[in-house]
Structure 1
Amino acid sequence: MATAEPSPSLFVRSLSTVEHNPTALKLILGAKLRELRTGAGLEPADVDLKLGFSRSKTSRIELGRTGCKQGDAVALLSLYGVEGDARAEEFLRLVEQSRQPDWWRSFSDVLSDFFAPLVALEGAAATIRTYEPFYVPGLLQTPDYAEAVVTSGPGRLLPHDVRRRVDLRQRRQRRLTEPDGPRLWAVIDESVLLRTVGGPGVMRAQLEHLITLTERSNVTLQLAPLDVTAAIGVGTGVTYLRFALGDLKDAIYIEHLTDSTFSQKPQVVEQYRDMLDRLGACALTPRQTTEALRDRLSRL
């Protein structure tokens, strides 16, 4: 029986647009290196010792916390028996791509460290699910509404910083308009419509914008009545990122006043996914939501 030729790729699926997301690539490459190491029957400490790495360097690379240099990648692939073929060439090309700067780095002057994980990975998601109890979700905000939200936060910001934060929000929204952009499924608490953020004119334009967005095929918007959110006991906003690639685990992001929780632990992600499922099942349907938005607009 003839020996099967090795796969021309180490990845089951094409990475497609994820190749242009360095943060996502680091996580995917790290997960693949962990899989290769496990297949070779080695522990992270064994690899550190064999390759002369500093303590826990292998683990940091596998977790995506440390970018993998070309030389390190060559040494790791060689140790795991992957060298001199198309698979190694592809992997090294992706390593180089992962070392490119993320687009959001240009907004580092106004991007909080705790917010960076969400911004870094939402562009690589196939589906973004979010529940927002206080404001219209950032990906659905108009510039004027976003400015009103930013200026209402803690501390006083210079006009330049406010404008930069609004620009960042608009840059994030651009991904939704691209042909291969993610699907957005947003559930908004009913109380959000009762808050006239930025004044009647700003709120009116925001509601008109939401109504327009409900016509898009990749946007699902639902309104959660107060009794629904009270019964489910959500308590805070949450964003759930689902990725099409098996090499990238789903994630949840919860923002607090001065920090955030970002987790890819399956048991944590599952709990919040279940909560979002229950919210979606009990909230108004998309059609009912559009009617509620029009009704609120008529009352402003």
Structure 2
Amino acid sequence: MAATDPSESLFVRPLGAVERNPTALKLILGGKLRELRVAAGLDPADVDGRLGFSRSKTSRIELGRHGCKLADAIALLDLYGVESEERVEEFLRLVDQSRRPDWWRSFNDVLSDFFTPLVALESAAERIRTYEPFYVPGLLQTPAYTRAVIQAGPGQLLAHDVMRRVDLRQERQGRLDQADAPYLWAVIDESVLLRAVGGREVMRAQLEHLVALMERPRITLQIAPLDVSAAAGVGTGVTYLRFALGDLKDAVYIEHLTDSTFTQKPQIVEQYRNMLDRMGACALTPARTAAVLRERLAQY
């Protein structure tokens, strides 16, 4: 069978930070395998049957839910007619990288299933946009503020579990300090500034931290006045991940009371992206936001 992909590479280049993110690589590899399968005129059941896969294994690989073994990748590429040794070698190298352990798996003891997709993919994004109605966004929190937020949540947590959750948030923040880290654009509700989470000293340190973070070129922070956030009708936290690669679809993470929604469905993603656009357009400018933060600090 002739090769189904005439391009020099099977992937959009450069991959950048994505190559350090096994979860993102699984999604990209799965999407590329889906393209090759469709071009070869096969459906998933055909592939499962021809290669002796268990039922739905091909679909799970294509959705990034099942890691692709090197032997399976070789068999799939051969079936789909990818004959170029260079392309096969590139694909297999990325398959190997996708099978490395994700850094966040060391926090599985405290990482909720519904939170995992966001943690797994945020460092692979080109841009992170978030709106928070109740707290300072997690990626901008001080350890003391994080601890207070966690302790105020439902249920009684052991001190060790609280510490582990704080460490997880700090690890997420640290990964955004890398040279090719995402740009972070955060909008917070004005009411967040009125809540002295953890007490006055904790909140003062948090406000000082926000002012300092606004000096960083990759961070934009805006405050949404109460009338703006009320008019927008958004009563929950939203995070939008913008990926630079066409091989990886943008995603949105929507928080609920006890769980969340993480989706890459274009219609839903576009709806929340538009909402964030409107919120950012109506919120205070970054310069005015910095001034308001300093004014609030003066009250402590």
TM bin (shorter chain): over 0.9
Deviations 1:145-193 (A, max 9, x none): 0100011111111111111100100000012211111000000000000
Quote the offset at 1:7 in angstroms. Answer: 4.2
Select between 14-23 and 146-155 the one with higher mean Cα deviation: 14-23
Structure 1 residue 57: Cα displacement: 1.1
Tell me how far 1:12 sits from its aligned partner: 2.4
Gaps of 5+ in 1: none
Letter of the 1:254 counterpart: I
Q: Tell me the residue number matched to 2:169.
A: 169
1:77 is aligned to 2:77: yes
How big is the shift at 1:232?
1.1
The residue that corresponds to 2:282 in the other structure is: 282
Question: Please, which moves more after superposition, 113-122 or 76-85?
Answer: 76-85
Task: Find the residue that maps to 1:299 and give its secondary structure.
Answer: coil
Superposition CA RMSD, Å: 1.2
1:122-201 aligned at under 5 Å gives the runs: 122-201=122-201
TM-score for both structures, normalised by structure 2: 0.97
Residue 106 of structure 2 corresponds to: 106
Deviation at 1:55, TM superposition (A): 1.6
* 2:124 alignment partner, SS class: coil
Equivalence for 1:24: 24
State percent identity of aligned pairs. Answer: 76
Deviation of 1:82 (Å): 1.2
Q: How many residues align?
A: 296
Aligned counterparts, 1:1-300, within 5 A:
7-83=7-83, 85-300=85-300
Confirm or deny: 8 A CA contact 2:16 2:180 kept in the other structure.
no
Distance 2:84 2:123 in 1: 33
Task: List per-residue Cα deviations over 1:214-261 (Å, max 9, x = no partner).
Answer: 111000000000100111111111000000111000000012232110
Q: Which amino acid aligns with 1:112?
A: S
Contact kept in structure 1, 2:145 and 2:206, CA below 8 Å: yes
Q: Structure 2 counterpart of 1:235, which letter?
A: G
Q: Which structure 2 segments of 5+ residues have no match?
A: none
Q: How big is the shift at 1:19?
A: 1.2
Which shows bigger deviation, 20-29 or 10-19?
10-19
Which amino acid in structure 1 is aligned with residue 106 of structure 2? S
Query: Do the aligned partners of 1:18 and 1:124 also contact (CA within 8 Å) in 2?
Result: yes
Normalization by structure 1: what TM-score?
0.97
- Distance of 1:293 and 1:79 partners within structure 2: 59
Residues in 1 aligned to 2:17 and 2:236: alpha-carbon distance in whole angstroms: 31
Moved more, 174-183 or 103-112: 174-183
Residues 191, 226 of structure 2: 8 Å contact kept: yes
